[in-house]
């Protein structure tokens, strides 16, 4: 009886081990589209972003297009958008593509996600960097 139990246990283990493994790697979101961004189409990075403290910002494609003054390609996968607020002032939006490090914060942000900073002087802390949500 003991042999039958051990044989059944071994058989179940073999069956369980034979199943295909699921891909547990991080799903990487689509990259930024350089041509679209330079042409004023921001759909490749529009969306909801959250920082390490749980603060949420929403970058609405239509709102950015309406307020956009200038787009600059800083480096491969790093863009700066100069936008105007409704009251006539302005601020910058820095967009960091997948795999692009944020200067002065190398290794401290999630390079598997598109990240942004909104402000006037560049990020002063890693908490000012927001990660795109899936």
pLDDT number for residue 112: 96
Task: Give mean pLDDT, residues 66-94.
Answer: 92
pLDDT of residue 1: 57
Predicted local confidence at residue 17, as pLDDT: 44
What pLDDT, in 10s, does the model give residues 15-41?
544 444 344 344 445 689 999 999 999
Q: Which helix (H) or strand (E) holds 38?
A: helix 34-38
Q: What is the pLDDT of residue 7?
A: 54
Q: In the prediction, which pLDDT does 52 show?
A: 95
Q: For 22-36, b where at least 16 C-beta lie within 10 A, e where not — what string?
A: eeeeeeebeebeeee
> Is beta strand 78-84 parallel, antiparallel or unpaired with respect to 90-96?
antiparallel
The two structure tokens encoding residue 46: 């529009």
pLDDT of residue 88: 87
Q: Buried (b) or exposed (e) across 58-90, using 16+ Cβ within 10 A?
A: ebeeeebeebeeebeeeeebbbbbebeeeeeee
**Band of pLDDT at residue 8, cut at 50, 70 and 90:** very low
The pLDDT tens digits of the residues spanning 35-77 come to: 999 999 999 999 999 999 999 999 999 989 889 999 999 988 9
The mean predicted confidence, pLDDT, of the chain is: 83
């Amino acid at each position: 009886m003991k042999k039958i139990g051990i044989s059944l246990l071994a058989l179940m283990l073999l069956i369980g081990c034979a199943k295909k493994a699921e891909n547990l790697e991080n799903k990487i979101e689509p990259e930024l589209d350089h041509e679209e961004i330079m042409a004023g189409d921001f759909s490749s990075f529009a969306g909801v972003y959250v920082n390490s403290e749980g603060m949420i910002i929403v970058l609405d494609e239509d709102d950015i297009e309406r307020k956009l003054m200038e787009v600059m390609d800083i480096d491969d996968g790093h863009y700066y958008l100069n936008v105007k607020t409704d009251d006539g002032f302005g601020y910058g939006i820095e967009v960091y593509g997948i795999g692009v490090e944020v200067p002065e914060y190398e290794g401290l942000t999630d390079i598997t996600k598109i990240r942004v900073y909104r402000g006037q002087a560049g990020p002063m802390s890693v908490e000012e960097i927001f990660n795109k949500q899936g």
